[in-house]
Amino acid sequence: MNRLSCSVFGFLAAPSGVILRRFSNVNGSRSRQRLMQVARGRRLASTEAGENESGHISAGPNEGILFFDNILPLRLRIAHRLPLNIAEILKGANETAGTTADPASIIREAVPSDASFKITNVLPRMKDGGAFVKFSHGQESSTVEIEASVRKYLKEHPIKPWFSPFRPVRTFLVRGRPWLEDLYRFPTSRLKVEFIPRAPVDAAAEVPQEALYALFRRYGKLGDIVPQPADSKILPKFAYLNFLSVGNAIMAKNCMHGFRVLEADGGTKAGIELRLAYERINKTHWIRDWLFNHPRIVIPAAAALIATITVAVFDPVRTWFVKAHITHSLQLTDSKIWRWFKAQATDIFKLKDSEEAGLNAIWDDRKECIEQIQAWLMETSETFIVVQGPRGSGKRELVVDQVLKDRKHKLVIDCKPIQEARGDSAKIRAAAAGVGYRPVFSWMNSISSLIDLAAQGAIGTKAGFSETLDTQLAKIWQNTAIALTRIALEERKKGDKDFNLGNDEYLEAHPEKRPVVVIDNFLHKHEEGSPVYNKISEWAAALVTTNVAHVVFLTHDVAFPKSLSKALPDRVFRTVSLGDCTPEAAKRLVLARLDAYDPGRAGGQAKELVVSQREQHLEELDECIGILGGRLTDLEFLARRMKTGETPKKAMDGIIEQSASEILKMYLLDAGKAQRKWSPEQAWLLIKELAKSESLRYNEILLTDTFKPSPSGDGGGDPVLQALEQAELITIHSEHGRPHSIRPGKPVYQAAFRLLTNDRVLTSHLDLATLTGLIKLENASIEKYEGELGVLGQLPGRPEGLAGRIRWLVGKIEGAQRRIEGYEREMAGLRKVLRGEY
């Protein structure tokens, strides 16, 4: 505790004798001994509870009370909370404190040395930051004159305490009967004035505003006078005085409490006593009320502020994380130390990766495609590279593991988890995870939508808190583009000869510096109006046109030009089509996987084969590969089953049975029929025909009755075949830009089609459903023809020109009826099979 605080608390805690000794020099000619005698005789306590703890201070004849403010700091509320006896602890502390900061010295300096009165008592008011000074005077002077003389002296000799250097000490005469309480109540700038009538007849009396202004304006400027509402029944009547400063309210409260307003001053005959109390002001309500009363300003401003803070604080962090994701700077497995240890372990223990050993056979077969893509990546063309092929053809492995194996900076974005995510928040999380964008607050999107909905109901328009999925995805791609640009330019040095070129010109001149963005599973489960693929293609177009990065699309959809042309309408895409590998490459793949397999690692389950068994298996393997084709996923499945000890023939049969089960579940059963664009009968017709032939004529299928549109115009034609191709049941081959032929979606499907058609019960069931549908079509046609005949029959006179039309309609009805009868005969045989077989 420093000397200044000791002096303050010492003044508050000292007994009256000590305080009076401090004022013994106020009147230099007065006897100090007499003052001490008065103190010993009266033993007045100088606490905040008044004289003798009564809560009041009285003034007799020829006595008066002055209130000095700004004697003590106002912010000493903690002293009221302390459970200790401050008076005993700090007793005598002011004896050692410097007098320059002593409150007693401040009051001594505030009184002129030739004053015509003497101080008899001092009561400090720690809460109010001042003190009551009781004095006595002679008959020749009045209290008003003494007040005027002291105020004049303070004006000529202002005193500014150390804790309030800009506000001098003031004093006023106490005109009322102050209430000196030590309750836990603290000053505010607002006073509540209660009007206490002295006579019962004046119970509802109150002092007018003009009288209140005249009484209280002398203590400081008033901000407002708020009278009691006219319809209020509360007694006694009251009013609120709002001062512009707390110090003015303190002075008014201590000087005017208990003052009696007579009739001449605006009161009543008996008089009205004023009772003053501090009224607590909750200033936070001002801010709250303003915010709630101006939602059209506050809500959009808050949205703009939040957006600004988000961009300023989080965007640089997110860009850094995206860059770290692309450069793999935070991944231990990509560090040089980890790769060195892995290489050493591989050399020491002679480890051999079976996957790598097997795929090398495929890469040798596709070496031309790999070299072609690598050559395109070294060119400056501003277009997309598209690698198209069916699922399981090894598109991702070819591009990422072979074409880009020597590329330092590459970013792979998988569209499958983004498109399959349910809800906007899940899509945002999946997109952010794909590029390393963090932190991401996807859950805030739902809360922001609710806030926007509430704001729209309150102010009539949206506040802009929520953002659509398009906006959120655009932010993610934008930060990713910034990170890609920094990566592309980070090796640029001042010493380079083309350092003075702009960023676009530099990257155009150095295509090898650009990162490569691989967009996998593009158009996976594509839906019209989906924002995911639209935003990705637009973002990718911006990357290639500004020379920031090369973009490679991997897709199984043959209709990809329709989606990509919207983003780059004036560019020709560079396309590589991947099909199934050749039988020779497929055989090398399976054999490489089997040779890399160690039977000892299987727990002894696999057995070594003798030479004759190996030769037999090789012969079976050639036959199985001819049936399964060159699809990588099927070859991998075959190799895994053979590792367990199965023969190639048995493994192939298992693959065919599993494919047949998948076809039955995905294309023929009624489960999920509402989401399909084809009927089971249409899929079954293709399965039956492809089981007989490897290829079907496209237009011949369109002419069949099963693929005719319904009377409403739906469920037939090209859209059904395109939907079945999208679902990978079939593959449509084109020639000269038009659909030419139809083949199975996978080579193994043809064997699966034969397996399904050999099931008599399944064939009978599906053929019966097909014939039932054909009968419905024929009946609908007959009904239409009969309706037209009915209209023609009602014409008056039966014109001769309608005879040909009538004969044509009758012939159509007759032909449809013959077909219906034929269908019913076939259905009878099918029902017989269903009744007799399981």
pLDDT digits (tens, 9 = 90+) for 569-607: 888 899 998 888 888 888 888 887 776 544 444 343 444
Per-residue pLDDT, 641: 87
Mode of pairing for the β-strands spanning 385-388 and 410-414: unpaired
Q: CA-CA distance, 35 to 569, in Å (whole number)?
A: 105
Residue 517 β-bridge partners: 411, 551
Please compute the mean of the pLDDT values over residues 202-216 and round it to a whole number.
87
Please compute the mean of the pLDDT values over residues 241-246 and round it to a whole number.
92
Q: CA-CA distance, 576 to 581, in Å (whole number)?
A: 14
Q: Are 241 and 262 in contact (CB under 8 A)?
A: no
DSSP state at residue 640? H
Q: Would the pTM count as exceeding 0.85?
A: no
Per-residue pLDDT, 670: 66
∠ CA 716-720-726, nearest 5°, is: 175
Q: CA-CA distance, 510 to 611, in Å (whole number)?
A: 57
Per-residue pLDDT, 156: 87
Q: What is the pLDDT of residues 135-156, one digit of tens each?
A: 888 888 888 888 888 898 888 8
Q: CA-CA distance, 791 to 417, in Å (whole number)?
A: 58
Average pLDDT value for the chain: 79
Share of the chain above pLDDT 70, in %: 78
Q: Are 251 and 69 in contact (CB under 8 A)?
A: yes
Q: What is the pLDDT of residues 334-344, one digit of tens each?
A: 666 766 766 66
Reading the block at residue 754, the tokens are 């034969």
Contacts of 637 (CB under 8 A, 6+ apart): 651, 655
Q: For residue 26, name the pLDDT band (cuts at 50, 70, 90).
A: very low
Share of the chain above pLDDT 90, in %: 29
327-351+382-445+463-577: CATH topology is: Rossmann fold (3.40.50)
Q: Per mean pLDDT, which range of 204-218, 539-553, 563-577, 793-807 is the poorest? A: 793-807
Helix, strand, coil shares, percent, the chain, to 5: 55, 10, 35
Which residue did the predictor score with more confidence, 137 or 40?
137
Q: Per mean pLDDT, which range of 33-47, 174-188, 388-402, 710-724 is the poorest? A: 33-47
23 closest CA partner among 12, 41, 7, 35 = 35
Q: CA-CA distance, 757 to 703, in Å (whole number)?
A: 22
Residue 384 CB neighbours (<10 A): 25
190-281 maps to CATH 3.30.470.20: no
Q: 3-state SS of 236-287?
A: CCEEEEEECCHHHHHHHHHHHCCCEEEHHHCCECCCEEEEEEECCCCCHHHH
Per-residue pLDDT, 714: 61
Per-residue pLDDT, 571: 86
Per-residue pLDDT, 120: 84
∠ CA 623-627-629, nearest 5°, is: 110
Q: How far is CA 837 from CA 495, 661, 833, in A?
A: 85, 20, 6
Q: Are 7 and 101 in contact (CB under 8 A)?
A: yes
Q: CA-CA distance, 568 to 381, in Å (whole number)?
A: 13
Please compute the mean of the pLDDT values over residues 784-791 and round it to a whole number.
91
Which residue did the predictor score with more confidence, 687 or 709?
687
State which amino acid sits at residue 207: V
Q: CA-CA distance, 81 to 224, in Å (whole number)?
A: 33
State which amino acid sits at residue 487: I
Reading the block at residue 724, the tokens are 């079945």
Q: For residue 497, name the pLDDT band (cuts at 50, 70, 90).
A: confident
Q: What is the pLDDT of residues 381-437, one digit of tens each?
A: 888 999 998 888 889 989 998 999 888 899 999 999 999 888 888 888 899 999 999
Q: What is the pLDDT of residues 458-496, one digit of tens each?
A: 555 555 555 677 888 888 999 999 999 999 888 887 777
How close are the terminal C-alpha atoms of the chain, in Å?
102
Q: CA-CA distance, 636 to 590, in Å (whole number)?
A: 7
Q: CA-CA distance, 809 to 781, in Å (whole number)?
A: 10
Environment class of residue 379 by beta-carbon count within 10 Å: exposed (0-12), middle (13-18) or buried (19+)?
Answer: exposed
Exposure string over 466-493, b if 16+ CB within 10 A, otherwise e: bbebeebbbbbbebbbbbbbebbeeeee
Rg of the chain on CA atoms, in Å = 49
Q: CA-CA distance, 19 to 92, in Å (whole number)?
A: 11
Helix locations, 531-599, DSSP H: 531-545, 560-567, 583-595
Q: For residue 553, name the pLDDT band (cuts at 50, 70, 90).
A: very high
Please compute the mean of the pLDDT values over residues 357-371 and round it to a whole number.
79
Is the pLDDT at 751 greater than 70? The verdict is yes
Per-residue pLDDT, 312: 77
Q: CA-CA distance, 383 to 587, in Å (whole number)?
A: 37
Residues in the chain: 838
Q: How far is CA 836 from CA 404, 822, 830, 833, in A?
A: 61, 22, 10, 5
Q: How far is CA 567 from CA 235, 536, 768, 773, in A?
A: 78, 9, 48, 43
425 closest CA partner among 467, 464, 480, 474 = 467
Is the pLDDT at 229 greater than 60? The verdict is yes
- Quick one: CA torsion of 773, 777, 780, 782, rounded to 10 degrees? -120
Environment class of residue 157 by beta-carbon count within 10 Å: exposed (0-12), middle (13-18) or buried (19+)?
Answer: exposed
Per-residue pLDDT, 761: 93
Per-residue pLDDT, 294: 78
Is the pLDDT at 199 greater than 70? The verdict is yes
Q: What is the pLDDT of residues 390-403, one digit of tens each?
A: 888 889 989 998 99
Q: CA-CA distance, 252 to 112, in Å (whole number)?
A: 24
602 closest CA partner among 645, 633, 652 = 645
Q: CA-CA distance, 511 to 620, in Å (whole number)?
A: 49
Per-residue pLDDT, 45: 38
Please compute the mean of the pLDDT values over residues 173-197 and round it to a whole number.
87
Q: What is the pLDDT of residues 619-673, one digit of tens each?
A: 788 888 888 888 888 888 888 888 888 888 999 999 999 999 999 998 988 655 6
